[in-house]
Amino acid sequence: MKFLIYICLLVLFTTFSYANEKERTLKGVLLSRISQLITYRQGSEDFKICIYKDKDMYKSLQGLYKGKKYKDLPIKVFNIGEKEEFYKCDILYSEKIDKNLLQKFKHKELSYTLLVSDSIDKLYDGFMLALYLKENKIKIAINQKALQKSQLNINYRLIGAASKIINPVKEK
């Protein structure tokens, strides 16, 4: 009986682990597509994707983007912590959030960084984009006001691809 329970737990863990890896890979591919709809600051030698305190996402994206380029710039993926200079990142992905991180979001230079999370709730804390799982699909939610305040140039098709928009900006 114990052996049967062990086998069942092993199968569940393996399935769950595979599902998480698949979700991370899909989010990575979606980030790549989204980045094509955004114009970032000019003059960089490489395109930096920073992952805040998430080793699994870091490993997944590092493998996904190895040898890839963004508009002729090599893509580099970094696993960063609280002491890092976030404003050097073109994309900052974070599942975890704390008050120290939120304070850094107010840094003026960070307005050139696309702030991405995995939860719609984090859009209310200053994140610009959320890639979240709903009905076994990765969906996009956007904080339009935060995007507009940034120094990033956003293609209108990104807004059209969003399944949810937080803080919509009215056309004048």
Q: Which domains are assigned to the chain?
A: 18-166 (3.40.50)
Q: Please tell me the distance from the alpha carbon of residue 35 to that of residue 68, in angstroms, as a whole number.
A: 13
pLDDT at 102: 64
How many other C-beta atoms are found inside a 10 Å radius of the C-beta of residue 3?
A: 7
Residue 116 is encoded by which pair of tokens? 């991405």
Mind giving me the DSSP string for 71-104? Answer: TTEEEEEEEE-TTS-GGG-SEEEES---HHHHHH
pTM: 0.80
List pLDDT tens digits, range 115-159: 898 888 888 888 889 998 888 888 899 998 888 888 888 888 888
